[in-house]
Amino acid sequence: MNTKSVIKANAIKVIDNESSAIKNLASFVDDEFADAVEYIYNSKGRVIVTGVGKSAIIATKIVASLNSTGTPAVFMHAGDAIHGDLGTILKDDVVMCISKSGNTAEIKVLVPFIKEGPNKLIAITSNKKSFLAQQADFIINAHVEKEACPHNLAPTTSTTAQMVMGDALAICLLELRGFSSKDFAKYHPGGALGKKLYLRVKDIATVNLKPEVTENADVRDVIVEISEKLMGVTAVINQNKIVGIVTDGDIRRMLRKYDSINGLNAKDIMSVNPKTVNCDMLAVDALDIMDQFGISQLLVEKNGDYFGVIHIHDLIKEGIL
């Protein structure tokens, strides 16, 4: 067997191992899982998520997921907790501790201090008989039969299972809170994801040049308007109402059709009933319309009046596409 075949076989083995373990997690979603979710939902404090080693890394991801979906959360490293970071925990907070074995030295030191306070303890563990599980008020079972590591040592499948259960918990809380896409946008204002949720057509159209001609405009003026405004189109308007559109494609077709352009006006070559969008539409929805009709530009209206133009290049530049 050549090296590439071995590599591919090993990769497939890992994927099969982890996918099987994830599928098995569904059987562990029980009343205690639901109780943990409801307790967090009804609590007045934050979720303090802690762990050590690879579980600590998973804890930071769960914290990020909770924060971005409406549940305030803070990461506290289990090792640092016993050296001063226990002060992170406030009286109304819920503590979530992640550990595959539930028996690591740091966890055994940390848990008794947590139990001395008023805070409820949620365990995400693969071992329901562990020290952590026995001390926890709620147990989220993330049991896996074996790691993807051939020696069953390196945390692989177990950390995947922890992350999946954390995702399940975060989304259950999102659903309980009625957390909407508008709420999501408030927490994700940056990058392409945020722009898909808040960037509107008017935000783009207002910075573009606004090509427009009247129905009786000479085609030479139409060509100049399209060229100068750099949008590849111009709106044809009557009292600021859109009555048609002339694209650079219309210009090419005109040149093929007529031996002379003398006497031709915008109304002679324009397309009527062009696709338009309201200025308050989300830019991502405008992109869907462009994709649906195979067009590169859209005319924009505000209260029925001509407002401007957006081009597919604008959406590419903004990271929407």
Domain boundaries, the chain: 3-179, 201-317
- The reply to whether 201-317 shares the fold of 3-179 is no
> Which residues is 242 bridged to in the sheet?
237
Q: What are phi and psi of 78, to 5 degrees?
A: -60, -35
CA 230/CA 247 separation, integer angstroms: 11
Query: Given this model, what pLDDT does residue 181 score?
Result: 72
State which H helix or E strand residue 299 sits in. Answer: strand 297-302
CA 276/CA 306 separation, integer angstroms: 9
Query: Given this model, what pLDDT does residue 45 score?
Result: 95
In angstroms, the Cα distances linking 230 to 163, 233, 321 are 49, 8, 20
In angstroms, the Cα distances linking 36 to 115, 141, 150, 191 are 17, 12, 34, 33
User: What three-state secondary structure class fits 131?
Assistant: helix
User: Is 77 part of any known ligand binding site?
Assistant: yes
Q: Edge-to-edge strand order for the sheet containing 138-141?
A: 73-77, 47-51, 94-99, 121-125, 138-141
* Contact residues for 124 (Cβ-Cβ < 8 A; gap 6+): 96, 97, 98, 99, 140, 142, 162, 165, 166
User: What three-state secondary structure class fits 140?
Assistant: strand
CA 18/CA 32 separation, integer angstroms: 24
* Contact residues for 37 (Cβ-Cβ < 8 A; gap 6+): 169, 172, 173, 176
Which residue ranges in the chain fall short of pLDDT 50? none
User: Could you read off the pLDDT of 26-67 as tens digits, one per residue?
Assistant: 999 999 999 999 999 999 999 999 999 999 999 999 999 999
Query: Given this model, what pLDDT does residue 196 score?
Result: 72
User: Could you read off the pLDDT of 209-238 as tens digits, one per residue?
Assistant: 999 999 999 999 999 999 999 899 999 999
Query: Given this model, what pLDDT does residue 193 score?
Result: 65
Query: Given this model, what pLDDT does residue 125 score?
Result: 97
- CATH architecture group of domain 3-179: 3-Layer(aba) Sandwich (3.40)
Q: Which two tokens stand for residue 296?
A: 């590169």
In angstroms, the Cα distances linking 14 to 2, 145, 167 are 19, 13, 21
| 31-42 vs 157-177: helix crossing angle, rounded to 10 | 50
Does domain 201-317 fall into CATH 3.40.50.150? no
CA 241/CA 38 separation, integer angstroms: 54
0.75 surpassed by pTM: no
